[in-house]
Structure 1
């Protein structure tokens, strides 16, 4: 992963005044590519800095790449998928079927364990772009039952140029059943437009990632980059430059727990990790048995 420590701001009087009004960028990265997916953050690197946000992928390419996603397990986390261009179709036994496009959300709280990977499929668009984010869950939820939501863009609330994906902003509450203490917004700024994000009290972590266009923050953040701001509670003013900019931005209260890491799991301690990995191993056995049965569907979306 290509991570850069932001150079310190000079200490001349003019720069000192700017430092009082602009929250500095501490780290930035363009991640590492894996076909249609760019991994911008993992729990073993930048996730330690801005937890509960611990993982971020930017995906972009022919929509058909989604068909190659294998079934895989998770425990201890929630995954949040948002679409920034194109659309995907969802299919779930409890939620039915529908289409997720710009601003639509798939939320899956893996909790104590789940296998998934086939709940999303090609929609009507040839190309697709979006982000998948992992949230580290608190002890009360890290080994809890699975909770999934598929929310079309029409039900996601807006505040100015922002869709409120998680949390609450300016008294507007997201319908996603996420833990309290974090915000996650999807924002589109028109060319030349400025917008100021004011984190709620206690939200010391702040980061953003751009999928299209270029932002002034006031340092430039380009498409495909993730930027992490210095800890604190200060606001950040963002401006789209020569063309429209699409980006996600997250802020949160500190996650006061260590990250116990497995291959597909993130927990708060080794004991919870062992319980989660044991559960996903047991589910995996049942999944393989299910697929061997006559009529067992290889396209089962979620197995828990």
Structure 2
């Protein structure tokens, strides 16, 4: 499908994230918060970790459970070790992606494998449809060189983590939620168009410099929610002084969301069952 845009989406609103502590004391900018879950369905959360201070990240994320969702971890810079109760282990290193389907339940840990330097990355939570919430847990690592990428005539460098962009198929595809996940690096004075299905909810986050979307400024470390204009066919991003963003879009599930911490189901009864199953050890044990 062509990525030439004839009517770009406007910016509905620009938001700052919330500074939170997670894991064993990791400082995080929570960009997509629980209050935005309905508006940005099927996405449940987006965390951004970026620090060159070891005390901000060194404690990591010891063993913790998930059920009913997928986690997509993208490491811009740094090294993080993943281990889970389904027997998976992998090193998330600079430029790499880890895609984990928690499904019926898994425990995992994510621990830094560096004691100094910059650690920067994102974790996106993608909801599972009701029919798949109790599926078998699944996990895959993608090293940086396995992420498809291309450069436009305008000099824009694009990494296609999920979905499709300008004829390039991303590392991951999901049939129900149809996620698009791009890392877009725009040099000064460049412009980039990306087709988006009209029904998809979409947002972008500027993590280097400032960009513009349909003439509206999106400053550094801000998220722009893109308007769901019925006849819009995509998004146009410009960077007068250069910038780098992640662009995320997906097809809404339009299903009830019941969440209790790392468990995301459709009803409170299913949440109670998830807590009980976890307490009874049915998620298995994560390796140290």
TM bucket, shorter chain: 0.7 to 0.9
Aligned runs of 1:92-131 on 2, under 5 Å?
A: 92=83, 97-102=90-95, 104-118=96-110, 120-123=111-114, 126-131=117-122
What's the TM-score once normalised by structure 1's chain length? Answer: 0.78
- Corresponding residue number in structure 2 for 1:57: 47
The gaps in structure 1 that reach 5 residues or longer are: 1-19, 288-298
Larger Rg: 1
Deviation per residue, 1:70-103 (Å, 9 max, x gap) = 322111111111122x22143558665545213x
Give the Å deviation of 1:252.
1.5
Q: Is the CA contact 1:87–1:124 (under 8 Å) kept in the aligned structure 2? A: no
Give the Å deviation of 1:124.
8.4
Aligned runs of 1:1-304 on 2, under 5 Å?
A: 21-34=7-20, 36-43=27-34, 45-62=35-52, 64=54, 65-84=57-76, 86-92=77-83, 97-102=90-95, 104-118=96-110, 120-123=111-114, 126-160=117-151, 161-176=157-172, 178-180=174-176, 181-199=178-196, 201-217=197-213, 218-232=215-229, 233-243=232-242, 245-283=243-281, 287=285, 300=287
Alignment coverage as a number of residue pairs: 265
Taking CA–CA contacts closer than 8 Å with sequence separation of 6 or more, which of the two structures ends up with the larger relative contact order? 2
Q: Is the CA contact 1:58–1:224 (under 8 Å) kept in the aligned structure 2? A: no
Give the Å deviation of 1:170.
3.6
Moved more, 143-152 or 276-285: 276-285
The gaps in structure 2 that reach 5 residues or longer are: 1-5, 22-26, 152-156
Give the Å deviation of 1:250.
1.1
Q: Is the CA contact 2:189–2:238 (under 8 Å) kept in the aligned structure 1? A: yes
1:79–1:66 CA distance, 2 compared to 1 (3 A)? farther
Give the Å deviation of 1:121.
2.2
Deviation per residue, 1:196-217 (Å, 9 max, x gap) = 1111x35431111111111011
Give the Å deviation of 1:155.
0.5
Please report the RMSD computed on the Cα atoms of aligned residues, expressed in angstroms: 2.6
